[in-house]
Amino acid sequence: MEAPLSSTVAKEESSGPTGGRRTKVATFLPCELPSCTAEARSRQRPGDKLLETLTKPLRCKSDPLNLLTNTNKQPYAGLVLNGVKSVETRWRPLLADLRNCTLAIHIAQADWEGDEWSNILTQMFGMKHRQVEELLESGERFGRGVVAGLVDVGETWYCAEDLPPEEMKELEKAACLTGLQQKYLTRLSNPRWLTEPLYMRGHKNVWTVNIPECLLPSDEQE
């Protein structure tokens, strides 16, 4: 079951201690969490990872964390959460208003159509074929159609066409993508995986999600 979206965004922002530092988190109206139902259990089939997770109760005593999330295709979602991709690229400034906020990463069912990332990993990062395979496997640890982790959002800027070649090369390496000219780039930092995946359908652009505290990395739990 998919969590309904909030209709209104609160104007206030809250922050609190997070592993010895203060993290600014965008605050939203509460959404309902996906629930485990008898109907879902009755439809469970062997090997159906989604239903196995839905039927596993979450024992969280505290309120969930309300965060913005964005859907990313593989392998880029995994590259972000494994700390390889540190620059996000968009044709419009989608993440500009989220500077200094925490963003949840949702993994899409579909793959990215291009293969620029492969050449960048092998040529710019100097990875061997086996290292690339291990990195991709790590990024698939939770499967698809899940909220898998968190990342902190930094500044967003417009990528001009006349950047010096060396500067453009560094940006392409950080983004694991070529052809960055005239796109909006956003710095990402402090990636961390959830302790378990949170299954739900993705949406376009940026949307809200409730993450139970027991799924947060240990240093972010109260």
Task: Give the pLDDT of residue 35.
Answer: 34
Residue 210 or residue 61, greater confidence: 210
Percent of the chain exceeding pLDDT 70 equals: 71
The C-alpha atoms of residue 130 and residue 117 are separated, in whole angstroms, by 15
0.85 cut: is pTM over it? no
Segment 104-145, tens digit of pLDDT? 999 999 999 989 999 999 999 999 999 999 999 999 999 999
User: Got the DSSP string for 144-203?
Assistant: SSEEEEEEEEEEEEE--TT--HHHHHHHHHHHT-S--TTSEEEEEEEEEEEEEEEE----
Asked if pLDDT for residue 3 goes beyond 50, the answer is no
Segment 171-186, tens digit of pLDDT? 999 999 999 999 999 9
Residue 4 DSSP class = P
